[in-house]
Amino acid sequence: MKCCTCNIDFEDREAFKEHMKLHRQAKEQARKEVSDEHPFYCVCGRLCTGLHELHCAKFRTAVDRREKKIFKKLVNSSIAITY
């Protein structure tokens, strides 16, 4: 199995599941953080609604950037705990 965002090959199915779980956690946390930082207006400057956040390219880009930072922290902390 291969992670399409990280280009890492996993031979163990459980390791792949744990890796994808970290991706989901990072994505959820990033979306919440970016949304909380902009309670009234979106990153693009428009009025912020849930529907707008789903379709706004600038919001998604901000979430993706934040997700990468959070994911690195989660991976580093999970490696430190494992070893």
Identify the helix (H) or strand (E) that includes residue 10.
none
Position 40: which residue type? Answer: F
Burial of 37 (0-12, 13-18, 19+ CB in 10 A): exposed
57 alpha carbon, distance to own chain's centre: 15
The pTM score is 0.79
Instruction: Report the distance separating Cα 67 and Cα 23, nearest Å.
Output: 8
Q: Of residues 10 and 41, which shows the higher confidence score?
A: 41
Which pLDDT score, from 0 to 100, does residue 35 have? 92
- What pLDDT does residue 83 have? 41
18 compared with 5, residue with greater pLDDT? 18
| Domains of the chain by residue range | 22-82
